[in-house]
Structure 1
Amino acid sequence: MQLNDLRPAEGSRKNRKRVGRGNSSGRGTFSGRGMNGQLSRSGGGKGAGFEGGQQPLAMRLPKLPGFTNHNRVEYAPVNVSRLEGLFEDGETVDSAALVAKGVIKHDYILVKVLGDGDITKKLTVKVDKVSASAKAKIEAAGGKVEQAC
């Protein structure tokens, strides 16, 4: 037996159906699609997800729950323990100082100081918001809290 003697098994290989190549081919005129109707048309048939006129599953399922409040104001949280580690005694904490220390990326970001941790340094805090516990800890340490301009 030689390599050129190898042949596929009888009946294992079939030629593809060439439709629309004249009536003598046996697949002319209607090209095996019948005469009229949805399936005889180009692009005919039902779309993906069609369930025979029944309401499709994708439309029966509920949409995402809840809603998004477009008026929500986001604040970057900064704890007093972070201020303790970054700032020296008597320094002023504001947006520009926080950007310089790498706490926030831009000075237009709104900042809220939160009361997690302890603080011993006297700091002047000028940010957008300060929680009640943070204000109490800053003032107990001898610092003061001012509203940002």
Structure 2
Amino acid sequence: MSDRAFRALFGVAGLLLLAMVLAGPRDCAAWVFCSFDAPGFPYSAREARAYLASLTDGALWRYLWIVQPLDLVFPALLCLIFREAFERHAPEKLAARLGRIAVIEAGVDYFENAVIRAMLKRPEGDFPDMVPLAATGLSTLKWLLIAFLSVALARLVLTQRPPA
């Protein structure tokens, strides 16, 4: 991938993330972040139900029909960004390993989105406690993988020697 294409990919991902944040619900009283997949810390089934109860119909609609569709694209873009960055900055074997972890992270993100959608489709909270517990576990795992990949990339970039 050319430098220009990589910068464009990074820019599109940034704009998409901004669109998700701006389109997302902001009028929830029971939650630190107005999104199930934003907190990097676990939440309980009770907290998830309280969050759903606090969402207005408009906020729920935006979450289901704007944020979630945009979040179908974002994990793939993030995965591509990580994989390309690792190819640029890591030895081949390490880049391949880290690239596989980036693919796993995207898979976790997609699975998390599906579980979250199951909760959003039942805003009255009539789902088993296991559903929000799975969602919070997947969210936590997603953020841990993103942190790991980000630290690995930062370390590679910061320790890379400039060409002679």
The TM-score with structure 2 as length reference comes to 0.17
| Bigger share in helix | 2
* Larger RCO (CA under 8 A, 6+ residues apart): 2
Q: Which has the higher strand share?
A: 1
Whose Rg is larger? Answer: 1
- TM-score normalised by structure 1 residue count: 0.18
